[in-house]
Structure 1
């Protein structure tokens, strides 16, 4: 996945209502507060009360949106997947799928917001998750959700004749390529761009995982 720029209320296939945008903005404020506090004190040294106070919301508001402190970071972790699915959805049906996937991954992982903020948040959270199973579970759930949402995007690009199994496998492979690349990158001191960056690693992983999949030929002359 991934990963990522922070969630933007304007992203997605349909316009959101004012109430939905306000809800998304509040969730993102809480997520940023949680990330800041996790970076400063670690998950064990941070409480839901701390996060609510930093975000400027009541504790009951925190629990209206999140069951626990670890889940509060989900909007930030999910932002990258939202971004790259939107970019992939911009591709025209019939476009060679390998090209479309690589273009969307590169754009999402090298955009100004991803480089300046999103990737740094992700790196910090992945490092913190090594000692926090609950935080790690949130990361895996976010990636699973992203994979499921990716299926109809790929199905649209490949057309009705594509094998549903191949479409599902490709969605899983593409999601895992980004997820694993971000996990590997987070253990290094490599910068967000250039050698060893998430975009470079993700392209390598994507090519390895999808090599030889027949559905990738869709749209080729």
Structure 2
């Protein structure tokens, strides 16, 4: 099951360029901090012209948005792949969260490394924190139709909205709690599942079988 249409070739190329710029921005933020990084330096590191940078992003902090959104996209895709009615919704959600935040390969570990670096950099940069919060808000909105499809007809729209908010915040809080520490990436998944259970424990939507 998928609720998101496939990207065209042009859209994939655009997304690839944006991701290259996002990675360059994340690297420079980790090395020098946002205050010590310019848009020109990000464009140079990414191998694009400055006008290309501004074609996609309003400012240097915005440039990391694709990197932050990527993890949420993969998580929703895992959840959307669940066949409705095969497992309880709570179980499907926990499984997708744990899978998305586990580190089975180098790509997953790299994604968490990027996120840790960006959250540490955001601690002293309000504009970068705003990008992080916006990424979470957008992820929450895109999660609602996925949960609605899994919950089936008759599900209360308010319950769906609350569930999407709780699931998104569970991951956000887990990552924010983990990022400042030296804990290994493998601990994030368990922390996120714990947060999810705490936030959804009293929801009727998850008590149904």
Contact 1:108 1:114 in 2 (8 A): no
* Distance in 1, Cα, partners of 2:91 & 2:82: 10
Report what 1:215 is aligned to.
205
Per-residue CA deviations over 1:45-103 (Å, capped at 9, x if unaligned) read 00000000000000000000000000000001111110110000011112301100011
- Give the drift of 1:217: 3.0
Q: Do residues 63 (structure 1) and 54 (structure 2) align?
A: yes
Instruction: Confirm or deny: 8 A CA contact 1:143 1:175 kept in the other structure.
Output: yes
2:188 maps to 1:198:
yes
User: How far apart are the structure 2 equivalents of 1:113 and 1:208?
Assistant: 30
Q: Identify which range, 94-103 or 143-152, moves more after superposition.
A: 94-103
Of the two structures, which has the highest relative contact order with CA contacts closer than 8 Å and spacing of 6 or more? 1
The Cα of 1:115 is off from its aligned counterpart by 3.6
SS in 2 for 1:74: helix
2: CA distance, partners of 1:60 / 1:102: 42
Matches within 5 A, 1:115-194: 115-193=108-186
TM-score (norm 1): 0.90
The number of residues matched between the two structures is: 206
Question: SS state of the match for residue 16, structure 1?
Answer: coil
CA distance in 1, matches of 2:54, 2:3: 25
Equivalent residue in structure 2 for 1:78, among 28, 51, 69: 69
Do the aligned partners of 1:105 and 1:202 also contact (CA within 8 Å) in 2? yes
Q: How far apart are residue 113 of structure 1 and its match?
A: 4.8
Deviations for 1:8-60, whole angstroms, at most 9, x for unmatched residues?
A: xxx98322111111100000000000011011111000000000000000000
CA distance in structure 1 between the partners assigned to 2:161 and 2:109 by the alignment? 32
Unaligned runs of 5+ in 2: none
The structure-2 alpha-carbon separation of the partners of 1:143 and 1:215, relative to structure 1 and needing over 3 Å to count, comes to: same
> What TM-score, normalized by structure 2, do the two folds share?
0.95
